[in-house]
């Protein structure tokens, strides 16, 4: 069994910091697929390693550090072009996904190559009604009615809008469950700056992760907002959860969702410690 030790010798380190064909294949997959979940990222890493004979630990846990280093190398090379592979978290279940994000543009026009001006305008209006809704989700009838609100662009029929919604879902920008439409992790990852800028008076950031929070729980006393998964982590061992905001600390009146213990990320929260524990076994 071959695997890279956490402490790389200098020559190995130099190889790791250069972009090779493995890195390029990994990056191309991100470019074509847009967003991948943690499991898909791990599989892709393995494929790239096998194809280009890069050492890959058989044990998934031991593959975390090399994978993180691999992504860091790619990010070092693409950051001058304002691109970055970044982690996003689902507001529904706290699961992680990774997307190739353009860091220089906060506008929605970065989607322009895939959608027509009318479609982009429709998507903007959809974001507007999702942000304004109570639970960050809207019904499909209300959504299709947006076609009558398009201004200064070519009109869309309801059939066009349905086709657009299905493409937005396929490309992982939106989620459609039980007739309800909400923004998927890719939108939160790539359009958070846009939403925070345009709707700065209407949206909040989560008190724990400091990221845009559309779906979550809100303190009835002070308005502090927490993602469901952030509340789960924060109140995991609390018998009487209280609002985390300094100066509030009122009782948190919601049921706390228990998230699955095994969180799917490409790295553990405390890599050093987990590696040491692993070595002891």
Q: At 33, give phi and psi (nearest 5°).
A: -100, -15
Nearer to Zn ion, 147 or 230 (CB): 230
Nearer to Zn ion, 180 or 215 (CB): 215
Tokens of 274: 């987990």
Residues with Cβ within 8 Å of 275's Cβ and at least 6 positions away in sequence, in order, are 6, 65
Nearer to Zn ion, 65 or 89 (CB): 89
Nearer to Zn ion, 111 or 206 (CB): 206
Taking the complex as a whole, how short is the minimal distance between the CB of residue 211 and Zn ion, in angstroms? Answer: 6
Tokens of 82: 């304002």
Taking the complex as a whole, how short is the minimal distance between the CB of residue 265 and Zn ion, in angstroms? Answer: 15
Taking the complex as a whole, how short is the minimal distance between the CB of residue 192 and Zn ion, in angstroms? Answer: 12
Taking the complex as a whole, how short is the minimal distance between the CB of residue 208 and Zn ion, in angstroms? Answer: 5
Taking the complex as a whole, how short is the minimal distance between the CB of residue 96 and Zn ion, in angstroms? Answer: 13
Nearer to Zn ion, 203 or 219 (CB): 219
Which residues face 98 on adjacent strands?
36, 87
Convert 127-163 into a string of H (helix), E (strand) and C (coil): HHHHHHCCCCCEEHHHHHHHHHHCCCCCCCCHHHHHH
Sites of contact with Zn ion (CB under 5 A) = 206, 208-209, 219, 221-222, 224, 227, 230, 243, 245, 248
Nearer to Zn ion, 176 or 256 (CB): 256
Taking the complex as a whole, how short is the minimal distance between the CB of residue 79 and Zn ion, in angstroms? Answer: 25
Helix axes 38-51, 64-78, angle to 10 degrees: 90
Residues with Cβ within 8 Å of 140's Cβ and at least 6 positions away in sequence, in order, are 165, 176, 179, 180, 181
Picking from 213, 262, 272, the residue whose alpha carbon sits closest to that of residue 90 is 213
123 vs 128: CA distance, rounded Å:
9
Nearer to Zn ion, 3 or 254 (CB): 254
Element (H, E) at 84: strand 83-89
Asked if 129 and 138 count as a contact pair (C-beta separation under 8 A), the reply is: yes
Taking the complex as a whole, how short is the minimal distance between the CB of residue 180 and Zn ion, in angstroms? Answer: 21
**Beta strand pairing call for 83-89 and 35-37:** unpaired
């Amino acid at each position: 069994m071959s695997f890279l030790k956490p402490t790389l010798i200098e020559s190995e380190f130099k190889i790791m910091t250069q972009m090779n064909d493995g890195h390029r294949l990994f990056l191309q997959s991100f470019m074509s697929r847009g967003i991948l979940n943690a499991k898909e990222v791990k599989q892709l890493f393995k494929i790239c390693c096998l194809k280009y004979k890069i050492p890959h630990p058989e044990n998934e846990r031991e593959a975390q550090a090399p994978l993180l280093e691999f992504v860091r190398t790619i990010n070092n090379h693409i950051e001058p072009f304002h691109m970055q592979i970044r982690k996003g978290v689902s507001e529904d279940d706290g699961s992680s996904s990774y997307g190739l994000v353009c860091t220089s543009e906060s506008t929605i026009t970065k989607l322009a190559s895939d959608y027509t001006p009318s479609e982009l305008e429709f998507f903007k209006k959809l974001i507007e009604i999702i942000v304004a809704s109570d639970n960050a989700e809207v019904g499909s009838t209300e959504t299709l009615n947006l076609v009558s609100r398009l201004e200064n662009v070519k009109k869309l029929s309801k059939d066009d809008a349905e086709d657009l919604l299905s493409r937005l879902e396929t490309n992982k920008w939106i989620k459609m469950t039980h007739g309800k439409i909400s923004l998927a992790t890719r939108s939160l990852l790539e359009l958070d700056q846009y939403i925070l800028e345009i709707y700065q008076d209407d949206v909040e950031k989560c008190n724990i992760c400091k990221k845009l929070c559309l779906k979550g729980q809100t303190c009835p006393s002070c308005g502090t907002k927490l993602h469901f998964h952030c509340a789960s982590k924060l109140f995991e061992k609390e018998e009487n959860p209280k609002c985390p905001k300094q100066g509030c600390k009122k009782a948190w009146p919601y049921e706390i969702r228990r998230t699955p213990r095994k969180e799917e990320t490409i790295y553990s929260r405390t890599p050093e410690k987990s590696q040491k524990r692993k070595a002891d076994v």
